[in-house]
Amino acid sequence: MTGQRSFKMAVCVAVISKENYPLYIQTIPTEDELKFHYTVHTSLDVVEEKINNVGKTTNDLRELYLGLLYPTEDYKVYGYVTNTKIKFVVVVESSNTALRDNEIRTMFRKLHNAYTDMVCNPFYTPGDRITSRVFEKVVNGMMLQDS
């Protein structure tokens, strides 16, 4: 490495079950991993709020992609909920301007596809923690990308 920081896409990717317990959480190698766990945890309230508003407000949110949940000083948190109430949360750095809404959408799309494939694996029991290597590979592909 030349000391130049590699370009990162996401700093944290999490999959949360229907009952709101984590199925999978992966962060970039950092000492402060707990901070991301905390960020993901707090985002769940916003997710809940957004999906409960479906059908009540005029700007109907029929899409699975929830958009930006909330920004913090250093990070932006994005959410996505499948029809089966599995939540995906992606945290990106605020300074990362290369990531636009479209890229985030694609990211979630990929994540969702990987998740469905994983669920259809006969050796996976629904509700278990995700240990699939294929899934992990997809997530790792989102987290690191050398520019």
Partner 1 sequence: MADEALFEFLHMEVVSYLFKTADEEKCIPILENMGYRVGHSLAERFTRDSSRFKDELDIMKFICKDFWTSVYKKQVDNLRTNHQGVYVLQDNRCRVLTQISASKQYLEAAPNYLAFPCGLIRGALANLGISCIVTAEVQNMPACKFQIMIQRSQ
In the shown chain, the binding pattern of residues 46 to 65 toward partner 1, with x for contact by CB under 8 A and - for none, equals -----x--xx-----xxxx-
Structure tokens at 13: 């990717």
Q: 3-state SS of the chain: helix, strand, coil percent to 5? A: 35, 25, 45
Nearer to partner 1, 36 or 80 (CB): 80
**Beta carbons within 8 Å of 128's beta carbon, 6+ residues apart:** 23
Question: Pairing state of beta strands 22-27 and 65-71?
Answer: unpaired
Q: Does 71 bind partner 1 (CB under 8 A)?
A: no
Nearer to partner 1, 89 or 114 (CB): 114
**Dihedral class, residue 94 (left if φ above 0, else alpha if ψ from -120 to 50, else beta):** alpha
Nearer to partner 1, 82 or 96 (CB): 82
Nearer to partner 1, 44 or 61 (CB): 61
Total site size for partner 1, rule CB under 8 A: 20
| Binder among 106, 126, 144, 145 for partner 1 (CB under 8 A) | 126
Please give the C-alpha separations between residue 147 and each of 4, 5, 67, 74, in angstroms, as whole numbers. 10, 9, 25, 21
Q: Does 83 bind partner 1 (CB under 8 A)?
A: yes
Return residues touching partner 1 (CB under 8 A): 18, 51, 54-55, 61-64, 81-85, 112-113, 115-116, 119-120, 126
